[in-house]
Chains A and B, each alone.
Chain A
Amino acid sequence: MNPFDGSSRATGKSRGMKLIFEKHRDGRRGFSYGLSDVSGTKPLAGKYCRATEARLPCLSELDVVRHYTNLSRLNFSVDTNFYPLGSCTMKYNPKFTERIAAFEGFLQLHPLLPQLSGGGMLAQGSLEVLYESEKLLAEITGMSAFTLQPLAGAHGELTGVMLIAAYHKDQGLRRKYIIVPDSSHGTNPSSAAIAGYKVKVIPTGADGYMDLEQYKKQLNNEVAAVMLTCPNTLGIFNPKIKEITDLAHNVGALMYYDGANLNAIMGKCRPGDIGFDVVHLNLHKTFATPHGGGGPGAGPVGVSKKLVEFLPISRIIRRADATFALDYNHPKSIGYIAPFYGNFGVILKAYAYILALGKEGLIKVAEIAVLNANYCQARLKEYYDLPFDKTCMHECVFSASRQAKNGVHALDIAKYLIDQGYHPPTIYFPLIVKEALMIEPTETESKESLDDFIDTMIKIAELAKNNPSVVTQAPLNMPIKRLDEVRAARQPDLRWKP
């Protein structure tokens, strides 16, 4: 069945799939709580009650099931399509971790239970998962300790920057600036600003590395920290990373490692060994927990020894009798950054994944992720401009500048790829590459998948040369054509109204 059923009944013109509100029928029920076993209670006084009903859609359970099932079929996903979205590490999410996260013992546990007198012993399984996860992540990254509380990568960044601020404050210093390279993720400068810092941006040199001379000029004792992604968003590992770290430490600044790209280096180098003081990880990227259409993720933060005392509370400890408990006795802690212990369900899946892969598996992840990206780069560089032509790590960044001269822009290439059944790479990011196409294949894609994708990309390059309008008209095979984004922004229609 075409999910775009009933497309024109409402207005006589084509309207796409109906909203769930447009399927409403008065009196229809999708769920009932049955009769309450309590009755005869005095109702709440009218002045406290809502006067207007929430106009929710009323449907049968089948209506709801069909609606969302058909909606799901309109999405590309890792399970249905190759999804080389750069910087997002869209690897396969093994199914067994979902089953584990659904175990009753994990799923039903109230987070306040271990905070009740006598309750801690009834949450030992979950506390152990958290404790062991912290230990594993610390070993993978070479950091002294971890907090699992941050609820996403950017939340981890904000937590990390607050830890840096707490450290400097404790030293009696108020430093004003945080340095980021212009190739950084947007979240880095944004997190720094939200934590109260001013941002200094260092340009990228012709070699794809942060400009070392500019960096040295900007670095002084007013700088609180330097936030780096390594490998950076161009997919390049800077061999001078240690020098950059040492220079920062020499002026008393701390080093922040954005772990979005950790997939490239697991078992090959550790941020802690390089000298980074704070690391955030994206469990939904490196450790294979599903991205869920935009989340939930998890953004644990690891720190070097000198920052441990500032970590958020509660901390999880293992007592002498091998039981686990929550510990609030950290007077220098920055406090609560999340209500509880992080996105437990996500952490649990990442923990199961790490156990399954083990040491050799995680090393192989990095190796094959890097192999796949270099293979794409090698096969495509004849057809697309490669602004920084060197061995890449987990992703390669091309420019569609050559194609753009014929009117085929990165966006057009993306739309044509959609027509061919591929989720496009990240486009127009990093901002420093014109017409950027950022391809991150991940290690779970086979050579055949890559070859098919690469062949399609080569075909697009040929079309851009000989028949550009075929590309610029795309998509033609999808349920809708290109959408009017300007109209969406100028005349915001952000909700259903009757």
Chain B
Amino acid sequence: MNYIPHTPEDIKQMLSTIGVKSIDELFKDIPVTLRPKSFNLPASKSEFQVTQTLRKLAAKNATGLVNFVGAGFYDHFIPAAVDALTSRSEFYTAYTPYQPECSLGWLQAIYEYQSIICELTGLDVSNASLYDGGTALFEAMMMAVRHTGRNKIILDSGVNLIYRTMLYTYTSNLSIEFVEIPVVHGQSCREELFKFLDDKTAAVIFQNPNFFGAVDDHSDMVERVHKFGALAIASVYPVSLGMLKTPGEMGFDIATGEGQSLGIPLSFGGPYLGFMAARSQLVRQMPGRIVGATVDSDGKRGFVLTLQTREQHIRREKATSNICSNEALCALRAAVFMSLLGREGFKELAEHNYQKAEFAKEILSRINGVQVKRSSPTFNEFTVFLPRHADEVVHRMIDKGFACGFPLGRFYKGMDNYLLIAVTEKRTKEEIRRLADSLEAVL
């Protein structure tokens, strides 16, 4: 099936209008010597055949595991209305709203999304989305580099290792100096930070809750960062902001994060949603599309893509970022999700996550040889020490039907026996009890 509507008669007429005899003539600019050496692709298939093929492949994936793996990407419930609304093809088969008069719905939805991100983070301005939490953090870091004219970055090692690795990849040809400060007793180490903080520092980057699940109040550190004229950047888990102190309240200048938890399925790693919010004085350093409200010639409110002189299609090599396509449909999912939840639903979501994780901590700590790390408070994810290698435990637990957590030894040297366990609102008391029982059995 090829979705091409042309009849042979159409093609004949069109060729005659163009004034050529064959379609081949239209390709005459491609020299014969450059024709494909091979184009060895399978023959066309029907919709039914392709659907069956992929149904079989989908069935090879596990769907029955009870999931306690988070590590930055969480198994949350998605209300049906999110799918119903975002699968309206007037949204998903449109493109970037360059022409406001015929893209008003998209523009308003993005403006509302930006407003929601500002409300979550406690900051002033947001953009229309970035690819994911990692690329968003890179963009935030580069904003700080441009804003301060400095190139030293202090990176808390509680920031997801995946993101730290991405920052190193992206800067491998730029002259950025990184200093990583250790996590001590689960939290950011003030002493080490203050040692490295100086007037060459462009930004300090934290994550809250950090990769180990620990919650912190970074206000004291942010204040110190500002004394040196540097910017403070937070990578945050948006669901936690239904409960936790916001980046805005702690004084952060930029907040970024992975928006997957806001109504976007795990889908094996994407598409996800990078979000970003910042203080208003940084708006002209922001990457990507930004929607603003304005009025038409009758004074009626409407929305447009604005502050475009930051962007690649106008500024080319001088643009603040190279981003063009973003994750608009995922941003819409987040906006619909948050609109459904409202104030109460959002708090409820955070509370359920927190309560269930606290319950799991309590139950798991009763298992002989298991130590739940309690040096700092947590939200919905926490670290446990196991009496044996976490990889082994994870493997055995998979056989028992649990994805029981993320083994920290994969990312941190010397932490082979540590497991990171996430408990979302989807996990029941019963599942948590069974997790504990199974864990006890495999240890």
- Name the segment of A213-221, A399-407, A460-468, A479-487 touching the other chain: A479-487
Partner-contacting stretch, out of B110-118, B194-202, B222-230, B364-372: B110-118
The 8 A CB mask of B275-316 against A (1 = contact, 0 = none) is 000000001000001111111111111111011110111111
Given contacts A128-B60, A375-B17, A447-B13, contact A50 B326 (CB under 8 A): no
Report the tally of A-B residue pairs with Cβ distances under 8 A.
716
Q: Which residue of A74, A85, A113, A339 is within 8 Å of B105 (Cβ)? A: A74
A65-B85, A186-B319 as given contacts; A108 in contact with B265, CB under 8 Å: yes
| Cβ-defined contact, B61 with A339, below 8 A | no
Nearest Cβ distance between residue A488 and chain B, in whole angstroms? 4
A164 nearest CB neighbor, chain B only? B173
Of A247-255, A269-277, A301-309, the stretch lying at the interface with chain B is A269-277
A364 touching B17, Cβ below 8 Å = no
B215 at the interface (CB under 8 A from A): yes
Known interface pairs A153-B325, A296-B271, A339-B72; A61-B340 also in contact (CB < 8 Å): yes
A residues less than 8 Å from B15 (CB atoms): 371
Assess A196 versus B41: contact at CB under 8 Å? Given A20-B112, A56-B119, A112-B73: no
Judging by beta carbons under 8 Å apart, are B101 and A122 in contact? no
Does A352 contact B95, Cβ atoms closer than 8 Å?
no
Alpha-carbon distance A33/B354, docked complex (angstroms): 14
Please indicate the chain A residues that have their CB under 8 angstroms from the CB of B407 in the complex.
116-117
Q: Is B436 an interface residue (CB 8 A)?
A: no
> Would you call B69 and A418 a contact (CB within 8 A)?
no
A487 to B303, CA, bound (A): 11
Q: Give CA–CA (A101, B86) in the complex, Å.
A: 14
A294 contacts the other chain (CB 8 A): yes
In residues 122-181 of chain A, which contact B (Cβ within 8 Å)?
122-126, 128-129, 136, 139-140, 142, 151-155, 157-158, 162, 165-166, 169
- Asked whether B268 lies within 8 Å of A483 as measured between CB atoms, the reply is no
Given known contacts A19-B112, A371-B11, A495-B111, A358 and B45 CB-to-CB distance under 8 angstroms? yes
B270 x A106 contact (CB < 8 A):
no
Q: B429 on the interface (CB 8 Å rule)?
A: yes
Residues of B within 8 A of A103 (CB): 54-55, 58
B161 (CB) vs chain A CBs: closest residue? A336
- Evaluate contact between A42 and B358: CB separation under 8 angstroms: yes
- Sample (7) of A-B pairs whose CB atoms are under 8 Å apart: A59-B340, A96-B47, A112-B69, A151-B132, A186-B324, A296-B329, A485-B294
Inter-chain contact A139/B40, CB cutoff 8 Å = yes
Residues of B within 8 A of A64 (CB): 81, 85, 336, 339-340
CB neighbours of A155 from chain B (8 A):
131, 135, 323
Contact for B342 among A58, A391, A444, CB less than 8 A:
A58
Q: Indicate which residue in B13, B115, B377 contacts A44 across the interface (CB closer than 8 Å).
A: B377
The interface bits of chain A over 62-89 (1 if a CB of B lies within 8 angstroms of the residue's CB, else 0) are 0011011111111111111101010010
CA distance A290 to B61 in the complex (A): 25
Q: Once the chains bind, are A418 and B99 in contact (CB under 8 Å)?
A: yes
Report yes or no: A77 in contact with B59, Cβ–Cβ below 8 A. no
**A447 to B8, alpha carbons, bound, how many Å?**
11
Q: Is B182 an interface residue (CB 8 A)?
A: no
CB <8 Å contact, A52 and B249 = yes
Segment 51-65 of B: residues with Cβ below 8 Å from A = 51, 53-63, 65
- List residues of chain B with CB within 8 A of the CB of A29: 342, 344-345
Partner of A78, one of B85, B93, B110, B125: B93
Produce 1/0 per residue, A287-319, CB < 8 A to B: 010111111111000000000000010000000
Q: Which of B63, B73, B295, B342 has the most CB of A within 10 A?
A: B342
Minimum CB–CB distance from A182 to chain B (whole Å) comes to: 10
- Asked if A355 and B245 sit within 8 Å, CB to CB, the answer is no
Does chain B have a CB within 8 A of A187? Answer: yes
Contact with B along A225-269 (1 / 0, CB 8 A): 000000000001111011000000000000000000000010111
Contact across chains for B61 and A106 when beta carbons are under 8 A apart = yes
State in angstroms the CA–CA spacing of A424 and B428 once bound together. 52
Cα A33 to Cα B353 with chains together (Å): 11
CA A32 to CA B1, docked complex, whole Å: 43
Given A189-B316, A268-B27, A356-B44, CB of A76 within 8 Å of CB of B162: no
Q: Are A292 and B293 in contact (CB under 8 A)?
A: no
Q: Are A267 and B358 in contact (CB under 8 A)?
A: no
Contact A493 B63 (CB under 8 A): no
The answer to whether A336 and B162 touch across the interface, beta carbons within 8 angstroms, is yes
Given contacts A44-B215, A115-B410, A483-B294, 15 further A-B contacts (CB under 8 A): A14-B299, A53-B343, A56-B339, A56-B341, A68-B109, A108-B75, A117-B398, A237-B29, A292-B91, A293-B97, A294-B326, A296-B326, A345-B270, A359-B43, A480-B302
B34 at the interface (CB under 8 A from A): yes
Q: Does A54 contact B (CB under 8 A)?
A: yes
- Is B148 part of the binding interface, using a Cβ–Cβ cutoff of 8 Å? no
B58 touches A293 (CB 8 A): no
Return A362 CB to nearest CB of chain B, in Å: 7
A91 and B245 alpha carbons, distance in the complex (Å): 45
Residues of A within 8 Å of B79, CB to CB, are 31
Cβ–Cβ contact A193 & B318, under 8 A: yes
* Min CB gap B326→A, angstroms: 5
Q: In the docked arrangement, what's the CA distance between A445 and B175, Å?
A: 49
Of all chain B residues, which has the CB nearest A16?
Answer: B301
Complex contacts, B440 vs chain A, CB 8 Å: none
Q: How far is the CA of A496 from the CA of B129 in the complex (A)?
A: 17
Judge whether B406 is part of the interface by a CB distance below 8 angstroms.
Answer: yes
Contact string, A31-65, partner B, CB cutoff 8 A, digits 1/0?
11100111101101101111111111111010011
Highest count of chain A CB atoms <10 Å: which of B4, B27, B133, B330:
B4
Please state if A85 and B95 are interface contacts (CB–CB under 8 Å). Answer: yes
For residue A458, CB closer than 8 A to chain B, the reply is no
Residue from B87, B93, B114, B347 in contact with A495 in the complex, judged by beta carbons closer than 8 Å: B114
Cβ-closest chain A residue relative to B62: A122
Are the C-beta atoms of B304 and A488 separated by less than 8 Å?
Answer: yes
Q: Interface code B4-17, partner A: CB below 8 Å = 1, 0 otherwise?
A: 11100011011101
Residue B415 lies at the interface, judged by CB distance under 8 Å to chain A: no
CA of A37 to CA of B313, assembled, Å: 52
| A249 CA to B152 CA, complexed, in Å | 37
Does A204 count as interface, using CB distance less than 8 angstroms?
no
Cβ of B441 < 8 Å from any Cβ of A?
no
Question: Does A331 touch B at the CB level, under 8 Å?
Answer: no
Chain B, residue nearest A165 (CB): B173
A-B complex: 3 closest residue pairs judged by Cβ atoms: A340-B269, A358-B44, A105-B58
Inter-chain contacts of B316 with A (CB < 8 A) = 186, 189-190, 199
Instruction: Select which of B115, B244, B268 is within 8 A of A21 by beta carbon.
Output: B115
Please measure, in the bound complex, the distance between the C-alpha atom of A333 and the C-alpha atom of B291, giving whole angstroms: 37
B63 touches A108 (CB 8 A): yes
Residue B90 is within 8 A (CB to CB) of chain A in the complex: yes
In angstroms, Cα B310 to Cα A489, docked, is 11
Contacts of A191 in B (CB 8 A): 322
Contact indicator A154/B134 (Cβ below 8 Å): no
Whether the Cβ atoms of B306 and A492 lie closer than 8 Å is: yes
Nearest-Cβ distance from residue A289 to partner chain B, whole angstroms: 10
Known interface pairs A54-B120, A55-B343, A368-B6. Does A162 touch B169 (Cβ–Cβ under 8 Å)? Answer: yes
Q: How far, in angstroms, from A433 to B372 measured CA to CA in the complex?
A: 65
- Which residues on A sit within 8 Å (CB–CB) of B215? 44, 48
B321/A344 in contact, CB under 8 A: no
Taking CB atoms, residues of chain B closer than 8 Å to A444 are: 3-5
B292 touching A494, Cβ below 8 Å? yes
Across-interface contacts of B244 in A (CB, < 8 A): 44, 48-50
Task: Give the residues in chain B near A268, CB-CB below 8 Å.
Answer: 27, 30, 35-36
B342 touches A292 (CB 8 A): no
> Of the candidates B33, B73, B348, which one forms a contact with A111 in the assembled complex, judged by CB atoms under 8 Å apart?
B73
A77 near B91: Cβ-Cβ < 8 Å:
yes
Q: Is the CB–CB distance between A483 and B295 below 8 Å?
A: yes
Question: What's the nearest-Cβ distance from chain A to residue B98, in Å?
Answer: 8
Flag if A487 contacts B289 (CB, 8 Å).
Answer: no
Q: Is B375 an interface residue (CB 8 A)?
A: no
Instruction: Kindly report which residue of chain A lies nearest to residue B301, judged by CB atoms.
Output: A16
The docked-state distance in angstroms from the alpha carbon of A251 to that of B268 is 42
B26 is an interface residue with CB less than 8 A from chain A: yes
